Amino acid sequence: MSNPTNVQATSVDYELASDSGPVTVGMYVNVDGQQKEVWTQGVVWAKNVGDIDTVDAPLVDGHVATPSKISFQKTTTGYKLLELPTYTKSDPSVAAKNSITKTSYESITVKNKNGGSYCPIVAFSKTTGEIYDVKNRALMTNTDWYSDKVKIYDGAKYYRVATNEWVKDIYFAGGISSWYMGSN
């Protein structure tokens, strides 16, 4: 993460190499009274000084970002985040209604960073959309999987690895995106 300078009430300036190309940008935000490091979900890229790029706000599990999209303006020294997102606890009763599924073809590697041999998977109810644990299956840690969809559910990202089996982004250890097709 680049070190933000000139921290203001609602914006942050990032000094980067003069032609750093597309970048993911990290920032510290207030979540439940504590500072949390978060990163943009996509790359930020603006070609000319003054140009603005808008990306989805970083995800925080169990929280909603306001605004949901954030904008960066290209400066002579890097980028300026125009509005720092704020995070409030989400309402679990509406999480299913607010979920978003996107088509995204990629190979992913999963890893249990807590040292476990397996990564748990979840499923989503076909009638209510609510999440539940899959108890009789899991993914072996340090294995590669093909994913064709990504679901944003209650401030977390899930990768689909089977018809209705999803692995949470905390088990994501890397991936190679093939192409992106938009929302479903």
Residue 64 contacts residue 145 (beta carbons within 8 Å): no
- 124: β partners: 131
C-alpha distances in Å from residue 159, one per residue of 61, 62, 85, 109, 163? 15, 17, 24, 11, 11
Residue 81 contacts residue 12 (beta carbons within 8 Å): yes
Coil, strand or helix at 96: helix
Domain boundaries, the chain: 4-89, 94-183
User: For position 10, what pLDDT does the model report?
Assistant: 52
pLDDT digits (tens, 9 = 90+) for 72-123: 999 888 889 998 899 999 998 899 998 999 998 889 999 999 889 999 999 9
pTM over 0.85: no
User: For position 184, what pLDDT does the model report?
Assistant: 47
Among the CATH numbers 1.10.3470, 3.40.50, 2.30.30, 3.10.450, which is that of 94-183? 2.30.30
